[in-house]
Each structure stands twice: as structure tokens, then as C-alpha cells.
Structure 1
């Protein structure tokens, strides 16, 4: 079993071809490029703020990613099972860790392309005024990390699921829980029945709370470590689950 860049790149190119030789990636990017501004203009009241920034976009971006990233992640392993290609993929002279990481990297690349598709809004605010472009860049960086976290969790659940539909539902639910963990609605509800340390731990795990720092243009090392840790755990869990199912003969 080969480990390292050659095996990773071989699977990465395979995954990218799978995305871009079909309409899937194009449809996803187009849907994201339409939905994100729609949220900012119609719900975030972009023009009513009278400010040259992208705060309305980033305020609703986590909720949009919460739905679209599971849709991107659900095919990672479940589709391989549906098509009967999982055994062929796992028989290649490539380590399972390289396969899992390459699958994640390819999906994350597509997610990055979707975020880039919203850059016309960034250009527009520069025509309308003088925004803090560094703060906007930091917010985009945070959105990229947030998208990666949802993707990693979604791909782990795809590895555990027997179908893409099940994977999508479970991933969307997990993303919802990860997003809402630190909201007052959740913490106030739990504070009456759960120990204080548990409530604090749940609030600490909130992806929305972590992303809010990036929205303010602040890059905090704990927040970066949080997102990278979720990504590492998700990718590792997906590979372990697939390895376990292979050993069990599934």
C-alpha cells in the first residue's frame, strides 16, 4: 500500500474528474452563487444597511452551508457503495488514509469554488464604498474552514450510511446541531437540567460561535484549531468506518 503524495494525487484527480465531467459541480456552484446573494439581498437587507461590507452575506452563510455541504458530502462513500465501485477503489495500491483525504480535498475544492463564485459581491462593495477588504478576506477564510468542517462530518456519516439520502439527512442534522450548539435557545434550555460544565462544553463546540470571530475580521488560533480538529476527526472517522466495513465484508 502506497502512502503519500502520489496515491493522494491519483485519487484526488479521480474525484475531480468525477465532479467536473458531470453537471454536478457546475450545478452546485451555480446554486450556491445564486442562493448566497439571495439570502444577503432579500433576508439580510443588503442595501438597507447603507454599509459597504459583506456582513449580510456572512451572517446567513453558515445556515446555507449547513444545507449545501451535506449535499456535497453525501456522495463521498455512499455513492461508491451504490455503484459497486468501493471494492475496486479500496483494492488500489493507495492507503485508505490517502483515499479519505483525497475525497475530502476534492469536495473542499468544489466548496472553495462555490465561495469564489460569490466574489462579484465583494467587487460590488468596493464600487459602492471603501470596505475593510482584509476583514472580508478573513471572513471568507472562516467560511472556507466552516465549509470544510461540515464536509468532513458529512463524509464520515456518508461512510456510515447505506444510501446518499440517509447520508444527507444525517449530515444536515449533524451540521444543524454543530451550528446551534452555542445559541442561547440551546444553552438556556440545557442550563436548567444539565451540569454547568456540560452546558459550557456544548457551547464551546458551537461552529457558529467560532465563525463569528472570523465575521468580525479576527483570526484566533483556538478557532482555527477548532475547525482543523473537526476536519481531521471527520476525515479520520470516515476512513476508519470504511476500513471497518471492509474488514467486516460489507
Structure 2
């Protein structure tokens, strides 16, 4: 566990050693404000809550998380530092987990820096802070699922742009699976079992209840299992490339 922490600390520091993390955080905060106040009609709704903020998180993560995950393995392979990394006294699994937790911590930092929004709704009204807290926790869990998928795609190729595009396309499928457009279309011809299965694989479906303050074991397990599966797939890919 100590080895994983060492890798996590190294990776986390590397994010802030370059403008990458600062630019990412700035874009995240600006886009969060745009989605909340302009597109989400925060004031027009007349309610002291952050639903207009959290409703856009799946779509926000869809484009921003691949931008931070694409460098995790692709950059190591392109620069040739992966050979050096693999000679260090760390296992591939420890490196994989360290990279994941470091990037997930950056995403958590982004969420923490949106605290002025939380303060604002408490100033404007009397929101249910338990619901807001659960939505923050759910959002961080969901960001981990996006991140794990992006890291898996980064392990596939040394081209960061390809890793970025693959992560967006596949993430989009997992988000779109729970959208009303897809589910309404399936209702015309597909049995309920198919519709429920498609909806159960959607980031959107599992986050909707969490954003309203309902954290169920099913929703939490979905994201955790998804993270484990994607990281394991990335681990297998790296191990195969080592063997070759």
C-alpha cells in the first residue's frame, strides 16, 4: 500500500508541476458556473438547491475527464519513461492504482473548489445539505468511473489524442444508454428486460437518484465495480505489452 501511495504522490505532483492541472481546474470551474447559472437557469428556478449544478456533471465529465486521463499511460509510452517506471520496485497493479488515485484526487480537488456554490445556496435559502453532500459524493464516484475508463483507453495506445477520442466515444455510450431518447426508442420494440439492462449500464441512470440525495448500494456498487473492471482491463493490457 505504501508503494501505491508513493506512485500516487509522484503522479499528483506531476499534474501540478505543469499547467495541466491548473488549466483543467480552471475549465472545470468556469464550465460548472456556465452550466449552473446560464444553461441551468439557477435563478429562474427559484429553488435553493444545486440540481442545476449536478444535472450537467455526466456531460461535463464526458469531455473533461478524458483530457486528464489520456496522459496517464500514453505519455509514459510515448516519452519512453514507461521502461524506467517498470524497472522500479513497483508492480504494475501498484502503478495503475497510484495513477488512478492521483488523477481521482485532482477531480476531487475540482469538486471541492466549487464550495462557493454550496455557500451561495445556503445564503439564498435553506437547502437540504444532506442531499447536496450525497450528490457531491455521487459525482466523485461517477468521475472515478469516467477516469478508470479513460485510463484503460490510455493503456491501449501511446497516442494521447487517440486515447482521448476513444474515452469520449465509449463514455458517451455509457451516458447515452440512460438518456430518455434511447430508452423511449427501445420501448417501441424491446422487452422490459432489455430496457432495464441498458438503463442499468448508464452513468446517467445511476447518478440521477444520487443527485437527488438517494444513495443506494446498487448505484454505489455499479460505479465501484465499473472502476475495478476498467482498471483491471488496463492492468492486463499493460502486462501484455510488457510481455511483448
TM-score range, shorter chain: over 0.9
- Count of residues in correspondence between the two structures: 244
Two-structure CA RMSD over aligned residues (Å): 1.3
Q: Which residue of 1 aligns with 2:22?
A: 26
1:236 to 209, 232, 242: 232
With structure 2 as the length reference, what TM-score do the two structures score? 0.96
Q: Which residue of 2 aligns with 1:39?
A: 35
Aligned: 1:180 with 2:179: no
Closer, same or farther: CA 191–244 of 1 in aligned 2, 3 Å:
farther
Unaligned regions of 5+ residues in structure 2, if any? none
CA offset digits 1:201-229 (Å, max 9, x no partner)? 11110110100011110110000000000
With structure 1 as the length reference, what TM-score do the two structures score? 0.94
Q: Distance in 1 between matches of 2:183 and 2:215?
A: 25
Q: Distance in 2 between matches of 1:242 and 1:198?
A: 34
Is this contact kept in 1: 2:75–2:158, CA < 8 A?
Answer: no
Written as runs of structure 1 = structure 2, the 5 A alignment for 1:11-90 is 11-90=7-86
Q: Which residue of 2 aligns with 1:247?
A: 243
Q: Distance in 1 between matches of 2:189 and 2:237?
A: 34
Q: Which residue of 1 aligns with 2:118?
A: 122
CA offset digits 1:175-206 (Å, max 9, x no partner)? 11111112232234345565653333111101
1:211 to 200, 207, 219: 207
Written as runs of structure 1 = structure 2, the 5 A alignment for 1:138-177 is 138-177=134-173
Runs of 4+ more than 6 Å apart: none
State the 1:22 CA deviation: 1.1
Q: Distance in 1 between matches of 2:242 and 2:156?
A: 12
